Amino acid sequence: MKTILVTGATGQIGVELTQALLERYGGDKVIATDYNNQPHNGWPQTSHFFRLDVRDATTLNEIVENYQCDTIFHLASLLSAVAETKPLEAWDININGLLNVLEVARTHRCSVFFPSSVGAFGPEAPSFDTPQDSLQRPKTLYGITKVSGELLCDYYYHRFGVDTRGLRYPGLISNKALPGGGTTDYAVDIFYAAVKNRHYDCFLRADTQLDMMYMPDAIAAAIKLMAADRASLRHRNAFNVTAMSITPEQLADEIQNHLPDFTMTYTVDPLRQAIADSWPRHMNDSAARNEWGWLPQYDLAAMVKDMLIQIATRENGLNRGCYAAG
């Protein structure tokens, strides 16, 4: 691997993926870019961070050419809830940004990682045990850009030989980066509220079952997929992956195992509830397990424990053994 370009590097996935790539390959091998113009303060010393709007094909091409990038982790995207508030801008960023990346990858022979989502499915797909190859008729603009992105990535592979690979991520939970306008953001917000206030008012119904994954597993999956032997891949764009299928009520119960005085109330946001209700409850990820050895390391209990320790330690300067209300 010569040099890696990350777009959306200060986003929820980007912060931890960039950190993992910097630690694995070193600052000279990772070019971090984002629409925001500040590198994340938690990264090890990195020598390359650039402000990049992925709709700017000229600058994107210059960076790839100047640094001889051969792998692009293309994370820049508007997420589901925010995309519904500005659908045309979301289409512009999510699709034209991806097309710029695919064209640069075609020109410079780069491999491309594309994060799709469970949101690429709609209510017509089987809700439980959603097969890898299921009908995809998403009802959100975000989902339409994700299934379109999957098709574009497959087209560039079959038509131009670009090595495109992707994952249909579930809701992702990170202790390092806040989410940015998604439907599953509650699963991150709840931890900060629990540590600081011992209470959270959830914007989804208590019984809203969705696939989730701890970010360390999401990062490991992206790196493992991109390193997989191409001969083993029967699918490419994009693999179902999940680690747990949980409800807000179940997440609150697990938090209460650590913080008995934590309480949860519910004020449902109709927009995000409608989005969540259009998604499957649990994806079948056997294709990823069989074709490139996907295997999550964190279940609900392990994720909750680590999230609380990491956030309490950072927010309250606590030792790792206890939590204190703010």
Which residues are catalytically annotated? 142
Q: Are 189 and 12 in contact (CB under 8 A)?
A: no
Of 31-39, 115-123, 236-244, 318-326, the window that binds ligand VAH (rule: CB under 6 A) is 115-123
Tell me the residue nearest to ligand VAH as measured from the CB.
182
Reported as type and span, the H/E element at residue 231 is: none
Residue 312 binds ligand VAH (CB under 6 A): no
Residue 166 binds ligand VAH (CB under 6 A): no
Of 18-26, 63-71, 175-183, 307-315, the window that binds ligand VAH (rule: CB under 6 A) is 175-183
Residue 14 binds ligand VAH (CB under 6 A): no
d(CA 239, CA 76): 19
Q: DSSP state, 258?
A: T
CA 132 to chain centre: 18
Reading the block at residue 220, the tokens are 């490991």
Nearer to ligand VAH, 162 or 172 (CB): 172
Tell me the helix, strand and coil percentages in the chain, rounded to 5: 45, 15, 40
Residue 184 binds ligand VAH (CB under 6 A): yes
Q: Which of 7, 10, 33, 117 binds ligand VAH (CB under 6 A)?
A: 117
Q: Are 282 and 245 in contact (CB under 8 A)?
A: yes
Of 3-11, 39-47, 166-174, 299-307, the window that binds ligand VAH (rule: CB under 6 A) is 166-174
Residue 125 binds ligand VAH (CB under 6 A): no
d(CA 35, CA 44): 20
d(CA 144, CA 296): 27
Q: DSSP state, 48?
A: -
- Identity of the residue numbered 88: L
Interaction residues for ligand VAH, span 214-273 (CB under 6 A): none
Nearer to ligand VAH, 130 or 183 (CB): 183
Q: Which of 11, 14, 39, 171 binds ligand VAH (CB under 6 A)?
A: 171
Least gap, CB of 122 to ligand VAH (angstroms): 13
Size, binding site for ligand VAH by CB under 6 A? 13
CB atoms within 10 A of CB 31: 26
Residue 6 binds ligand VAH (CB under 6 A): no
Nearer to ligand VAH, 12 or 46 (CB): 12
Residue 33 binds ligand VAH (CB under 6 A): no
d(CA 98, CA 160): 15
Least gap, CB of 184 to ligand VAH (angstroms): 4
Residues 6+ apart with CB under 8 A from 151: 237
Residue 303 binds ligand VAH (CB under 6 A): no
d(CA 26, CA 243): 29
Q: Hey, is 79 helix, strand or coil?
A: coil
Residues 6+ apart with CB under 8 A from 253: none
- Identity of the residue numbered 164: T
Of 89-97, 165-173, 282-290, 312-320, the window that binds ligand VAH (rule: CB under 6 A) is 165-173
Nearer to ligand VAH, 183 or 245 (CB): 183
Residue 72 binds ligand VAH (CB under 6 A): no
Least gap, CB of 64 to ligand VAH (angstroms): 26
Residue 118 binds ligand VAH (CB under 6 A): yes
Question: How deeply is 21 buried, as exposed, middle or buried, from its count of CB atoms within 10 A (0-12, 13-18, 19+)?
Answer: buried
Residues that bind ligand VAH (CB under 6 A): 79-80, 117-119, 142, 170-172, 179, 182-184
